[in-house]
Structure 1
Amino acid sequence: MKKTFVLVVLFVLPIVAYLFFASGVNNFGKLPVLTEGVNELDVEGDNVLFQNNITVLGFLGNDVEHKKGNTFNLNQKIYKRFYGFKDFQCVMVLPIGTEQKVDELEKELANLADTGKWKFLFMEETDIKNLFNSLKTDIKLGSDLGTPYVFIIDKEGNLRGRDNDEDEGTKYGFNTNSVAELNNKMVDDVKIILAEYRLALKKNNNRNTD
């Protein structure tokens, strides 16, 4: 018995500890709410809302051509991985007048994936600024009304992110210029928020069957 106990302590416990810490602390809790009550999407004729959706929100700005690389990075690393979830969507906000450029972008994206969960909204400059400012982040919107950063908005319209990121402290958004950041951080955070809602749904279903 003593030999078995010693073997367990020496070999099994270190493996269990490694698996726990390798999984990351974030995976064992909820993704923090950083800003409550982000302005709801309100574009006449478009039935696109934060409410009841898990949204990746981006601001492409006037220079759509310049942001194509960012969009393709997001498509390959995040969108293609999660678009199969019923309540997941990628919403890109742009100034009115960029519609033709977006048509071309959508055609290119269609060659890479099913674009059904890509939503492009065209808004007035003031509305874009108001929406961005309602995120209340430390990130600046460019003069072209665009940014390489994207944001995770939950089903209640709150901005989710990290309040104890190892590199930035509070992490409001994810830089689509960096494939590594999308791979190493954003993928994990989207997984967490999807799991959070799935777990809540499972608990509700269990209560209803009791």
Structure 2
Amino acid sequence: MKKSFVLFVLFILPLVVYLFFASGVNNFGKLATLTEKVNGLNGRPSSITLNDKITILGFLGNDLDNKKGHAFNLNQKIYKRFYEFDDFQFVMVVPEGVEEKTVGLRKELGALSDTGKWNFIFMQEQDIAELFGSLNTNLSLDESLSTPYVFIIDKDRNLRGRDDDEDVGTKYGFDATSVADLNNKMVDDVKIILAEYRLALKKNTTRKLMQGER
């Protein structure tokens, strides 16, 4: 009896504890789907798409000079950390007519990092308003068609976020003016969604290998 108890403590109990915490990660380590099927992108260049990409979506508006701080914060805290992951991209929506300003901003960002996955898409004002509206958040665009908040869009064009945030309840986006919000919340949430897709890819690969062995 004593020997059995010792074996249980040494081998079985640690396994039970591990399975308990592992199941907790699987059950709770996912971002909530807050809005399904946000609008696609209707702008230039037409090659930029939200489909099959993990996207950080932002709205910089037409006053880019006053939004550089937002872009630099996002670049340093989020983009540089994650841009090497497959299918990850930044998409910044700007109105038509400010193309030259984005060239200057991209050049400044390029001095700090590889900007290959920084995308600017130029859209008509009505299309910008409709895209933002399709997110179905409690936030709004200002008169320049910008917001300091950025959003996580998954590969199926769903808005992902938190439905139980300790500060705001439902957290639709992340404030690019707040280094604390980017560091303490957005970094974690981007890690979660990337891990979610990596896990799905591993499961799919394993399933294909097992089917191939039959």
TM-score by length of 2: 0.86
Name which one, 1 or 2, has greater alpha-carbon Rg. Answer: 2
Which 5+ residue runs of structure 2 have no aligned equivalent? none
User: How far has the Cα of 1:148 moved from its partner?
Assistant: 0.4
Match of 1:74 in 2: 74
User: How far has the Cα of 1:44 moved from its partner?
Assistant: 4.7
Structure 1 residues 44, 176: closer, same or farther in 2, change over 3 A?
A: closer
Match of 2:93 in 1: 93
1:135-146 matches, within 5 Å, as 135-146=135-146
Are residue 40 (structure 1) and residue 40 (structure 2) matched? yes
Identity %: 65
Counterparts of 2:164 and 2:50, CA distance in 1: 25
* CA offset digits 1:6-32 (Å, max 9, x no partner): xx9xxxx9xx9xxx7xxx979942111
The letter for the 1-side match of 2:63 is D
Paired residues, number: 195
Are residue 124 (structure 1) and residue 127 (structure 2) matched? no
* CA offset digits 1:116-170 (Å, max 9, x no partner): 0000001100000000000000001111000000000000000000000000000
User: How far has the Cα of 1:41 moved from its partner?
Assistant: 1.1
The letter for the 1-side match of 2:151 is F
Contact 2:45 2:122 in 1 (8 A): no
TM-score by length of 1: 0.87
1:1-20 matches, within 5 Å, as none
Please give the root-mean-square deviation of Cα atoms over the aligned residues, in Å.
2.2
Contact 2:44 2:121 in 1 (8 A): no
Counterparts of 2:69 and 2:197, CA distance in 1: 31
Match of 1:51 in 2: 51
Are residue 169 (structure 1) and residue 169 (structure 2) matched? yes
Counterparts of 2:146 and 2:57, CA distance in 1: 12
* Over 3 Å off, 4+ runs: 24-28
1:107 is paired with a residue of what secondary structure?
A: helix
Contact 2:31 2:192 in 1 (8 A): yes
* CA offset digits 1:54-89 (Å, max 9, x no partner): 000000001100000010000000000000011100
Counterparts of 2:124 and 2:159, CA distance in 1: 22
